[in-house]
Structure 1
Amino acid sequence: MASASGYVPLRPVGGDRVPSLVMMAAEEIRKKILAGEYEPGERLIEERLTEELDISRPPLREALRLLENEGLIDRRPRRGTVVRTFTAQDVHEILTVRSALERLAFESGIPVKNEEWLEPARAALTEMERCARDEDRGSLVQAGYAFHSALIHIAGNSLLESIYASVQQRILFCMARNLIARERFYEGLNEHVARHRHLLELVEQGDPVAALAELAVHGERSFERSLASEQDDEV
């Protein structure tokens, strides 16, 4: 079952429940990655993590395995565990797929047929507002994903929801890096939340043209532009 943040906990092969200590450790590391406290390519040193999280190595290693399965970290020969790095092409592909899925949801789901379908998006927006006040960037990214995932639901298309969920962690990573880029150059956390509030208001009004126009300029490609610029500078 998904948490309030929209993250869907993983279970190991066989169906046994993951120990709560492992899940808590994975969540703490995940939030630090999404908040930008651990940068792409940065090595995650086990000795340091055991001290920071106050856990032993066995549950830490299981937590890292979960994050590797999610695609947030990589294990590399002679380098150990590092935060995953996405290329400009990776990001372009992820955002292209995400945009297409969200447009399809808006085109087929607005006007919204069932008012109750909007409640998860409203709840996610409330959580985003709390995260912005607390400057909890990692949780803000997760709440942002929950918001967008809830808007996918308005289409009433289970296959569309399943496809969107299948790239959850890749979308989360791009949303996290995008938040960092926008906060650095464009907007504060409150403005970030305000954009999402405005998008939801347009969906609630039932005008697909206005909602799609806002979605097209919603800002998810800021990170893609900044990443392309950085890689051009390295050439």
Structure 2
Amino acid sequence: MVISTRTSAPAPPGRIKSSSLVDLAAEAIRQQILSGAMGPGDRLIEERLTEELGISRPPLREALRILSQEGLIETRPRQGSVVATLTDQDVFEILTLRSAFEKLAVELGVPVSDPRRLERCRTALERMEDCAQREDRAMLVESGYAFHASIVALAGHRRLEASYASVQQQLLLCMARNLYVREHYHENLVDHVGRHRHLLELIEAGDPQAVLAELAVHGERSFLELPPAGSPQKR
């Protein structure tokens, strides 16, 4: 894909043609990371990226700086930039934090007092379903985050929403890893969305204890119970 500020000639298929070079370069690389096209520890080679994106090194380096601030990539001495690697402890901390936010949101927001708040949940789920059908893993990860953020929003608690948003990129990276690992064992994209649909059904039913019980197996516990890397795949 190429990023270009000129509009006289169309860019080849898959190439970025908007004028926001830095933002769109960052988004293009972000999508590759969240889709699994770039895996943990993969090097981001500047020469290759400038060729693929059709930009010079200054905007590329600024895009990499943004992604580094988001926690999606790491810059290492004498190695350059690489896709961030999450340790098991990182995953545990990120997902337990998410669970704590969502637990508070459910306790405050279910049963839902304002039905309009459920529309945000339904919209996010519809986007997840569409992404699963198209096998768009990167957008499925982002739509999955939007769904979980919509659960937090049920509480109508601005500071809670802001705290959740403050770890958005870390959650995205963790969700991307979760989705990738699950796909290699026992859960396809449609099943992945189905778990979220069931969660929404429980929220709509208005039983906070049932929602909390589902969240308990939906979050960090479900991830940590997956087989370790290198284990035989389930059939």
TM-score category (smaller protein): 0.7 to 0.9
Aligned to 2:53: 53
Structure 2 residue 222 is matched with structure 1 residue 215: no
Q: Percent identity?
A: 62
Aligned to 2:9: none
Q: List runs of 5+ in structure 1 lacking aligned partners.
A: 1-18
Shift of 1:100: 1.0
Aligned to 1:117: 117
Inter-partner Cα distance in structure 1 for 2:58 and 2:140: 29
Q: Summarize the Cα distance change of 1:172–1:150 in structure 2 as closer, same or farther, 3 Å threshold.
A: same
Aligned to 1:161: 161
Inter-partner Cα distance in structure 2 for 1:194 and 1:230: 24
1:170-193 Cα distance to aligned partner (Å, 9 max, x none): 111111100011111121101111
Q: List runs of 5+ in structure 2 lacking aligned partners.
A: 1-18, 231-235
Letter in 2 for 1:152: V
Aligned to 1:72: 72
| Contact 1:178–1:222 (8 Å) recurs in 2 | no
Shift of 1:166: 1.1
Aligned to 2:84: 84
Shift of 1:45: 0.3
Higher relative contact order (CA 8 A, sep 6+): 1
Structure 1 runs (4+) deviating above 4 angstroms are 219-223
Aligned to 1:6: none
1:97-120 Cα distance to aligned partner (Å, 9 max, x none): 111111111111100111111111
Moved more, 27-36 or 218-227: 218-227
Aligned to 1:150: 150
| Contact 2:94–2:171 (8 Å) recurs in 1 | yes
1:61-114 Cα distance to aligned partner (Å, 9 max, x none): 111111011011111110000111122111111111111111111111100111
Shift of 1:151: 0.7
Shift of 1:37: 1.1
| Contact 2:105–2:152 (8 Å) recurs in 1 | yes
Aligned length: 213
Rg (Cα) greater in structure: 2
The RMSD of aligned alpha carbons is 1.8
TM-score, L = length of structure 1: 0.85
